[in-house]
Structure 1
Amino acid sequence: MKTYKSLGYLLIMLCWTVSCKKDVKPAVDPMDDNTEQGLKNGVAIDRDKQEVTFALTAPDKSSAFLIGDFNDYKATEDYAMKRTPDGNTWWITLKQLDFQKNYTYQFLIDGQLKIADPYARLVLDPLHDAEVAPNVHLPDYPQGATEGMVSVLSLNNTTYTWQTSTFHRPDVFDLVIYELHVRDFLDQRNYATLRDSIAYLKRLGVNAVELMPVQEFEANSSWGYNPSFHFALDKYYGTTNELKAFIDACHREGIAVILDMVLNHAFGQSPMVRLYQQSGSLSTNPWFNSTPTHPYNVGYDFNHESLLTQQFAKDVIAFWMEEFKVDGFRFDLSKGFTQKNSGSDQSDGAVQQWSAYDASRIAIWKKYNNFIRERDPNFYVILEHFAEDREERELANEGMFLWNNLNYVFNEATMGWNDNSDLKRLFANAHGFEKPQFVSYMESHDEQRLLYKNLQYGNAQGSYSTRDLVTALERMKQAAAFFLCAPGPKMIWQFGELGYDISIDENGRTGEKPLKWDYLKDPNRYNLFTHYAKLIGWKQHNTIFREGLVDHKVNGAVKYYRLKDGGQEVLLVGNFDVVVHDFAVPAELRNNWYDNLAESVLDWHSTSSITLAAGQYYLLSINKLNNK
């Protein structure tokens, strides 16, 4: 405990603590507007009245003071916070602040614990801010006056003026999402440079960008799944207005922006963790479980059955929707939003129990989804769920989309090992869905890169080897065709369109990876890029790729599927083996086909069999596919 500088201050603290420990609540003026009714956590700025109200939920605490550079970080009676009648929330209104300035502040809890505001939009980190770029103008840290994370109250910041007001989101079934990590996508690692990269994304043809977590996370070099302040933009990549300018520019170019939202957990810098951690246990924490309820949890596990946690999550969701005008969220570890305890170990039994049907988890997600839909009926809600199909069907019936990981089976196919390369989960009927309400991907931030495994472990026969770079890149083209032409939204991991071949484990799984923009100078890799662009263009300009009816046989070396929509039909057929195969053409496929890759017509009316070389494939249609 700190040594107090005056006897008077010590008496103030002693009297306050004693009275609160007797459960005598601080007086609340019944005529004061800032009572429990309408009071919201964080900072409320009233520019007309030139008032600022600070509020902090902290049940069962004895005292709370607002400290900051406006009072030299000293707790005095004038800055003692009042408590709402329910005892949950502490608040105070300041009327003497200069609205031409910015301030730093903290809360002093029970005379001992100094915490930043969990709802702060900007925080100062004395350990890591030195690495933040100088163009991100931060207030000076109050060295010597306090310690730990500090909140920033911004009263004179420039408001961003949005330029794009007519953006219409792509149909969800047309989505081709580009998942990227700012740190490993750009040498400059900032939103301003990322905005300059929109031209590249336009050339590729994607119509949505998914950013890995951007909320304030611990340290600087991170994937971002270790958040500590869910309302603050992490400073390492730039400023709030720079991110808004990026989103605005994406919208101007017809590209939606999806944020990776991490609400399963928080990390140790979180004030909500620290508030109840002094005893070394979270057993009394109103937001978090004292021990995780599921395997693969990281950090501190939110209890989503807690009403306080639900309110916090809704506040976070609403803030990012409204303040940044984003178009969707991909919710990390959505399967963890449960109090049905399956154990925190990673045994097969625990993992299976966690994945089993969970009615309480479904109820929680319906509640959050309804909250989002009330604000924006067309918002993209995407869950990293991986529960059993029955549960995912219920969520899909509510309009949510599920992540669909096809990394393993596609990689087996590209390597030429086809015993375990069944692609049936590309299609809705394999999930028991009526529509393809899932975001399929061959690669994500969390999966090994296809080309890396091809080059390391690919199959070979004679002179044909999937370990050869040129051949491996051609196999990527084949996989991309089967992947992107299947109905429903798709996701590409950054540089997959160029055949990124650096292992996910280089420099540690979450460690920094080398940039490979030089791939664009390699003709073979650039051909893969143009192939992706062509496929994406067809996907987005032909409605058959939204929900076209499907029949398929995709479990062997020779795979095919057919789509039907009105008078149009599309056929994908290819040999994923390393040796030649004959394909017996079923009667229903004997037709005149347009070969969209070779730009020629094939007459299969009397064809009963065709020969497919290793890696050979066709993208055929009854009518030539539209590309614009």
Structure 2
Amino acid sequence: MTKTTISHRTLGVTFTPDGLAQARVWAPFAQNVSLRLTSRELTLPLTTDSPGYWQTTTNQLRPGDTYRFVLNGSTELPDPASLAQPEGVHGPSQAIDISTFRWTDSGWTNPDLDDYLIYELHTGTFTPEGTFAGIAERLDYLVELGVNAIEIMPVAQFPGERNWGYDGVYPYAVQQSYGGAAGLQQLVDAAHGRGLAVVLDVVYNHIGPEGNYLPPYGPYFTNRYHTPWGDALNFDDDCSDSVRRYFIENALMWLRDFHVDALRLDAVHAIYDQGSVHILRELREHVDALTAATGRRHYLIIESDQNDTQFIRSLENDGHGMDAQWNDEFHHALRVTAGGERSGYYADYDGIMHLAKSYRNAYVYDGQYMPRRSKIVGSSTENHAGRQFVVFSQNHDQIGNRMLGERPGQLVSFAMQKLMAGAVLSSPYLPMLFMGEEWGELNPFLYFVSHTDPALVEAVRRGRKEEFAEFHTTHDAPDPQAEQTFQQSKLQWDLLRQDPHRTLFRYYKTLLSLRKQSILRVPDRLSLTVVVDADQQTLTLHRKHDQQRVVCLMNFAKTGRPIALPATTNKWHNMLDSADPIWLGPAASPAQLPGDSTVTVQPESILVYVTNQSS
């Protein structure tokens, strides 16, 4: 493994218990390096303490001071491991001591991954305030909803105050406009106090374009591989050990110093590493070492479009050891089944038959030819538990990568929104909601930035227009740079006070409660049976655990469909009916039925029955 300290951060500026500052930076090709205190016009020389690293220990640098590193006496740059950028990505770094935060979560235990009910949110648009404090004020709301984990889109410092977060250029610095490092620590502490785990989205496949000052320091990038964002990060070329250390220390910092429970690693298919030990495997080993040292469990969840189970295979089985991955294919099949478009990447999905396959196998393409890629895609998920796949009917990508950012609330009927929610929450996988879906938010979630480089702003605008040139011919792509685009993406909390949004929120609460209090909470793929009728557009899930059986009857057609319940000697009891008038539906199904019955499932609805007979 890369020589990385588990117990504390070693890069950037840290403070000892007796108040001394320690500064360390990697600059392997520099002839000399110094640290200039911009707040007090003082320059401190650094010495080489190991190959490529420069350091000093001093009482001259104090928390709150701003500083830059100076390479070769002339090139002044912010700290690549800066914890704070109060003047933005081009300004000086600020020394802060994150070890002084007084945590109150000593009794907190990260839930079993099997039990995770995830709620993805974007800090800037989740609340009117657009801050960590704004999120903290709504933690009780999330507890009432019934989720137990919040997944926060990336918070690493990015240009300006408006961004999805994937343009971050300081992996260690918490976005200043959100509340900085202290604000994030306060939010995590408060979340744990409400019984909520915190998942943080991190980006280890690229660095944003504006404010990226890594290249002058050293070979953080390699032209051996190319990503959609340019040269790849250097995880296996010359000098890569220190780049690996930089990102592994970053991951450990979030888990150890910010008490984050899990990391969601963005687009790991764009992390290139042909070395003897893949960077993700090395990260897993270090996180396991941290858990052994602290007793706190931490999960690693990835995004990948490769359908390659090597990412989620255990270390013992020659895998990379990731705990779980987002399963976009479930989403794609569900959206097509719900009547969504069949263009772009949706063209590879036929609807309900592929949805049935995703219920069974997680991946739709698990070794089949994919037309869009013109090649065989995927590997078998046999021996992989349901908890290793995160499913959803929407997320930031699937909404925001549409030109107009439409949510399902704008694209499908109210009845279909309820059915899609039921399809996700009855699956044998980990469910995830995207902020606002629980009340059918009507505002879009658009792509937005606030770059300061005019040429870059224009390039982003041009790129969005070209991306959607063949679609929505009567509309222009919203301007990503415009503040209005950002404001339009904020949630409308007032909708919770009016129907049908208020009723949909109650429906989601009921669904989540059902998930937690029935056998649906067990992400067990092995006990699942799927029956599908493509002509009738119906799908039935049979779930069994101990002495209980549950059937989830789904009708995606626009007319009622008769579906036979599995034969049993006991009666079937109605647990949920999305078509019930209490959910603003057309008609309620019987409260109970004989063990060998056929029931009419209303259009675009889900019906859940339970019996206590295991046969």
TM norm. shorter chain > 0.5 = yes
User: Is 1:56 aligned to residue 34 of structure 2?
Assistant: no
User: Is 1:559 aligned to residue 510 of structure 2?
Assistant: no
User: Is 1:381 aligned to residue 300 of structure 2?
Assistant: yes
User: Is 1:41 aligned to residue 11 of structure 2?
Assistant: yes
Equivalent residues of 1:594, 1:623 under 8 A apart: no
Equivalent residues of 1:39, 1:55 under 8 A apart: no
User: Is 1:517 aligned to residue 496 of structure 2?
Assistant: no
Question: Which residue of structure 2 lines up, in the alignment, with residue 301 of structure 1?
Answer: 232
Larger Rg: 1
Structure 1: state its 5+ residue gaps: 1-37, 129-147, 277-284, 341-359, 458-465, 467-471
Counterpart-to-counterpart distance in 2, 1:555 and 1:225: 41
Greater Cα offset, 246-255 or 264-273: 264-273
Alignment of 1:332-347 (within 5 A): 332-339=266-273
1:6-57 Cα distance to aligned partner (Å, 9 max, x none): xxxxxxxxxxxxxxxxxxxxxxxxxxxxxxxx99322232353x53232211
Counterpart-to-counterpart distance in 1, 2:20 and 2:384: 54
* CA shift for structure 1 position 399: 5.2
Equivalent residues of 1:488, 1:547 under 8 A apart: yes
Question: Which residue of structure 2 lines up, in the alignment, with residue 4 of structure 1?
Answer: none
Equivalent residues of 1:362, 1:391 under 8 A apart: no
Counterpart-to-counterpart distance in 2, 1:123 and 1:416: 43
Question: Which residue of structure 2 lines up, in the alignment, with residue 594 of structure 1?
Answer: 573
Q: Which amino acid aligns with 2:335?
A: N
Equivalent residues of 2:9, 2:249 under 8 A apart: no
Q: Compared with structure 1, are the counterparts of its residues 482 and 71 closer, same or farther at alpha carbon in structure 2 (3 Å cutoff)?
A: closer
Counterpart-to-counterpart distance in 2, 1:521 and 1:45: 49
Alignment of 1:364-375 (within 5 A): 364-375=279-290
363, 378, 402: which one aligns with 2:278: 363
Q: Compared with structure 1, are the counterparts of its residues 520 and 44 closer, same or farther at alpha carbon in structure 2 (3 Å cutoff)?
A: closer
Question: Which residue of structure 2 lines up, in the alignment, with residue 415 of structure 1?
Answer: 339
Counterpart-to-counterpart distance in 1, 2:288 and 2:268: 18
Equivalent residues of 1:179, 1:492 under 8 A apart: yes
User: Is 1:498 aligned to residue 439 of structure 2?
Assistant: yes
Counterpart-to-counterpart distance in 2, 1:308 and 1:533: 47
Counterpart-to-counterpart distance in 2, 1:268 and 1:337: 17
Question: Which residue of structure 2 lines up, in the alignment, with residue 139 of structure 1?
Answer: none
329, 339, 343: which one aligns with 2:263: 329
Counterpart-to-counterpart distance in 2, 1:419 and 1:40: 51
Q: Compared with structure 1, are the counterparts of its residues 478 and 379 closer, same or farther at alpha carbon in structure 2 (3 Å cutoff)?
A: same
* CA shift for structure 1 position 219: 2.0
Q: Which amino acid aligns with 1:264?
A: N
Counterpart-to-counterpart distance in 1, 2:73 and 2:251: 32
User: Is 1:550 aligned to residue 528 of structure 2?
Assistant: yes
Q: Which amino acid aligns with 1:435?
A: A
172, 188, 191: which one aligns with 2:113: 172
Equivalent residues of 1:331, 1:383 under 8 A apart: yes
Helix, strand or coil at the partner of 1:265: coil
Helix, strand or coil at the partner of 1:446: helix
Q: Compared with structure 1, are the counterparts of its residues 402 and 590 closer, same or farther at alpha carbon in structure 2 (3 Å cutoff)?
A: farther
Q: Compared with structure 1, are the counterparts of its residues 108 and 486 closer, same or farther at alpha carbon in structure 2 (3 Å cutoff)?
A: same
39, 42, 58: which one aligns with 1:94: 58
Question: Which residue of structure 1 lines up, in the alignment, with residue 382 of structure 2?
Answer: 432
Question: Which residue of structure 2 lines up, in the alignment, with residue 9 of structure 1?
Answer: none
Counterpart-to-counterpart distance in 2, 1:209 and 1:177: 6
Equivalent residues of 2:528, 2:543 under 8 A apart: yes
Alignment of 1:200-211 (within 5 A): 200-211=141-152
Helix, strand or coil at the partner of 1:415: coil
211, 220, 234: which one aligns with 1:287: 220
Greater Cα offset, 572-581 or 179-188: 572-581
| Aligned residues with identical type, % of pairs | 23
Question: Which residue of structure 1 lines up, in the alignment, with residue 46 of structure 2?
Answer: 81
Q: Which amino acid aligns with 2:530?
A: H
Alignment of 1:91-170 (within 5 A): 91-96=55-60, 102-125=64-87, 148-154=90-96, 159-170=100-111
Alignment of 1:445-460 (within 5 A): 445-448=396-399, 452=406
Q: How many pairs align? A: 514
Equivalent residues of 1:574, 1:612 under 8 A apart: yes
* CA shift for structure 1 position 516: 1.4
Q: Which amino acid aligns with 1:373?
A: D
User: Is 1:315 aligned to residue 210 of structure 2?
Assistant: no
Q: Compared with structure 1, are the counterparts of its residues 542 and 614 closer, same or farther at alpha carbon in structure 2 (3 Å cutoff)?
A: closer
Equivalent residues of 1:266, 1:300 under 8 A apart: no
Equivalent residues of 1:452, 1:500 under 8 A apart: no
Counterpart-to-counterpart distance in 1, 2:394 and 2:480: 14
Question: Which residue of structure 1 lines up, in the alignment, with residue 507 of structure 2?
Answer: 531
Q: Compared with structure 1, are the counterparts of its residues 411 and 362 closer, same or farther at alpha carbon in structure 2 (3 Å cutoff)?
A: farther
Counterpart-to-counterpart distance in 2, 1:177 and 1:361: 34
Equivalent residues of 2:26, 2:54 under 8 A apart: yes
Greater relative CO (CA pairs within 8 A, separation 6+): 2
Counterpart-to-counterpart distance in 2, 1:224 and 1:361: 31
Equivalent residues of 1:268, 1:274 under 8 A apart: no
Q: Compared with structure 1, are the counterparts of its residues 589 and 614 closer, same or farther at alpha carbon in structure 2 (3 Å cutoff)?
A: farther
TM-score by length of 2: 0.76
* CA shift for structure 1 position 215: 1.4
Equivalent residues of 2:215, 2:221 under 8 A apart: no
Question: Which residue of structure 2 lines up, in the alignment, with residue 575 of structure 1?
Answer: 555
